[in-house]
């Protein structure tokens, strides 16, 4: 066992304190809340602009296709664009929060748009995390939306208003088992970060899950409020107004911002928990910065 592993073993022998960890996570968000809010707005606006441009280009690309085929191509390429943006910007936000929390760096807009060579292990871990926690609910949600738009009566549909709650329920059921592996990949360079995370959480699972549940409650509130707004704007009179395109764009941006808010909260909670369960490593990591 190396020195880092021995240090981690000593620190994980102590109980993960729920209250102080939540307080740490709250301070992480509060101290640099303006920077994180600016990044979330920037990410959401850029994604909306890219999606709008893609809509016009795809309309020309699919003009000669049958209606359902054109709709399928449009939805598929839009899905790829959105997920690439969410993964890229979400990973950049996560890394910015982790470096601020563990290394004491001051987060900035520039930091939230930068990719560092030494962060590549974390990007790889995030892709694996996304495949485990987000791929299945993402496909189900978008297939449900495609079936509704294409009026496929034979396709089993999720009732209106239940898509996002079911999506986040799946994510919240899977994410805790792998999330702590992300900072391990980022800072420690472990080739099997998720296995290291499971080992580090032995005897800590109940407290760790409690910390995640409490820390993500504001994110659940954001999802609920956005669902209420969407339901309130679903009236025919609203969508017959001349501002329907603006309303639609606003809802799409609210969805993107909601996702980044959840990522921010998870990043803060994971950073707070990781700092209490893991070895000191700052001098080693900064050598490569």
Asked if 35 and 102 touch (Cβ cutoff 8 Å), the reply is no
All residues at 6 or more sequence positions from 166 whose CB lies less than 8 Å from its CB, including other chains: 137, 140, 141, 158
User: Band of the pLDDT at 251, cuts 50, 70, 90?
Assistant: confident
Longest dimension (CA), the chain: 67
Residue found under tokens 């990781």: 274
Residue 79 DSSP code: H
What's the pLDDT score for residue 280? 59
User: Band of the pLDDT at 41, cuts 50, 70, 90?
Assistant: very high
- CA-angle at 113, arms to 108 and 117, nearest 5°: 110
Both structure tokens of 238: 């609203």
Top pLDDT among 3 and 158 is at 158
Lowest mean pLDDT, pick from 64-68, 126-130, 228-232, 283-287: 283-287
CA-closest candidate to residue 278, choices 21, 96, 7, 34? 7
Q: What pTM value is reported for the model? A: 0.84
All residues at 6 or more sequence positions from 139 whose CB lies less than 8 Å from its CB, including other chains: none
Give the Cα separation of 260 and 85 in Å (integer): 11
The residue-averaged pLDDT of 242-264 equals 82
What's the pLDDT score for residue 13? 53
- In the chain, domain spans: 3-278
The residue-averaged pLDDT of 266-270 equals 94
DSSP H stretches of helix in the chain: 3-12, 18-31, 33-61, 67-103, 120-133, 135-149, 163-174, 181-188, 193-200, 205-215, 217-232, 236-239, 244-277, 282-286
**pLDDT tens, position by position, 44-68:** 999 989 988 998 898 888 888 888 8
The residue-averaged pLDDT of 240-265 equals 81
Greatest mean pLDDT among 6-10, 171-175, 191-195 lies in 191-195
What's the pLDDT score for residue 232? 75
Cβ burial 187-212 (10 Å sphere, 16+ → b, else e) = bbbbeebbebbeebbeebeebbeebb
Top pLDDT among 134 and 172 is at 134
Give the Cα separation of 9 and 6 in Å (integer): 5
Evaluate if residue 255 carries a pLDDT over 90. Answer: no
Asked if 101 and 270 touch (Cβ cutoff 8 Å), the reply is no
Taking CB atoms within 8 Å and a gap of at least 24, the contacts of 203-207 are 203/12, 204/12, 204/15, 204/16, 204/277, 207/15, 207/16, 207/17, 207/18
What's the pLDDT score for residue 261? 93
Give the Cα separation of 259 and 254 in Å (integer): 9
């Amino acid at each position: 066992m190396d020195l880092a592993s021995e240090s981690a073993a000593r620190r994980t022998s102590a109980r993960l304190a729920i209250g102080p960890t939540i307080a740490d996570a709250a301070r992480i968000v509060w101290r640099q809340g303006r920077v994180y809010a600016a990044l979330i707005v920037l990410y959401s606006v850029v994604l909306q602009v890219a999606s709008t441009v893609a809509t016009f280009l795809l309309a020309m690309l699919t003009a000669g296709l049958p209606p359902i085929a054109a709709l399928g191509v449009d939805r598929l390429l839009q899905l790829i664009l959105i997920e690439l943006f969410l993964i890229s910007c979400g990973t950049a936000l996560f890394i910015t929060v982790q470096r601020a929390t563990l290394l004491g760096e001051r987060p900035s807009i520039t930091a939230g748009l930068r990719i560092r060579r030494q962060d590549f292990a974390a990007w790889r871990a995030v892709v694996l995390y996304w495949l485990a926690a987000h791929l299945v609910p993402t496909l189900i949600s978008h297939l449900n939306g495609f079936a509704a738009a294409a009026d496929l009566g034979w396709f089993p549909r999720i009732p209106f208003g239940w898509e996002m709650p079911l999506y986040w329920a799946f994510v919240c059921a899977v994410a805790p088992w792998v999330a702590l592996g992300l900072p391990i990949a980022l800072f420690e360079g472990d080739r099997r970060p998720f296995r290291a995370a499971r080992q580090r959480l032995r005897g800590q699972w109940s407290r760790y899950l409690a910390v995640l549940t409490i820390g993500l409650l504001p994110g659940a509130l954001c999802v609920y409020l956005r669902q209420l707004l969407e339901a309130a704007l679903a009236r025919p009179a609203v969508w017959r107004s001349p501002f329907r395109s603006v309303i639609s764009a606003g809802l799409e941006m609210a969805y993107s911002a909601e996702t980044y808010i959840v990522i921010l909260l998870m990043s803060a909670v994971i950073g707070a928990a990781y700092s209490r369960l893991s070895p000191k490593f700052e001098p080693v990591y900064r050598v490569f910065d």
